[in-house]
Amino acid sequence: MAAPCSSMMYAKYGAAAFTAVNASIISKAVAAPTASVGTSFQGLTQQQAMTLTTNLGAFLVVAYGGPNTYQGKSMLAAHQGLNITEAQYDYFVSNVVVPALSENGVPTADIMNCFAPPVTEKKAGSVKCDTVQSGPRPSGCP
């Protein structure tokens, strides 16, 4: 289960901070040299990029305790067919998500204690277990 403070991050940092982190994540993902994270994001049309930005932003907001306006697919459905491996996911978390948070001024303590659980937990229905759908299953995922 996510740490209680995960659900307090939106209230603590606010909409503008979440928008900034979301933009950083998108920008870093476009630059990524890996499969899925990189080339998928590089191939987006302007409309697709807007849809992705909206969905990702809304997902981050609800994952960290903000109002639920997410209208995208489930994590499982959204990543079907993308062949995302655990290595791709680990790259995304370490080289996209963590730098996006730290460069936008989120202290290390909040990254570790509050932002980490929703993206690192391994259990049925967790973001990681539902996103990694190719290659060996991450240990701890059903």
Interaction between residue 62 and other proteins (CB under 8 A): no
Which of 17/111 has CB closer to other proteins? Answer: 111
Q: How far is CA 106 from CA 12, 27, 33, 95, 140, in A?
A: 11, 18, 25, 15, 28
Which of 18/115 has CB closer to other proteins? Answer: 115
Interaction between residue 30 and other proteins (CB under 8 A): yes
Which of 61/141 has CB closer to other proteins? Answer: 141
Instruction: Indicate the DSSP class of residue 62.
Output: H
Nearest distance from C-beta of residue 119 to other proteins, angstroms: 8
Nearest distance from C-beta of residue 46 to other proteins, angstroms: 8
Of 8, 35, 75, 78, which lies in the binding site for other proteins, with binding defined by CB under 8 A? 35
Closest of 91, 84, 86, 75 to residue 138, by C-alpha: 86
- What does the block give as tokens for 135? 């290659």
φ, ψ for residue 134, nearest 5 deg? -135, 150
Residue type for position 72? G
- What does the block give as tokens for 76? 């499982």
Site for other proteins, rule CB under 8 A: 27-28, 30-36, 38-45, 47-48, 51, 83, 85, 87-88, 90-91, 93-95, 98-99, 102, 108, 111-113, 115-117, 119-120, 122, 140
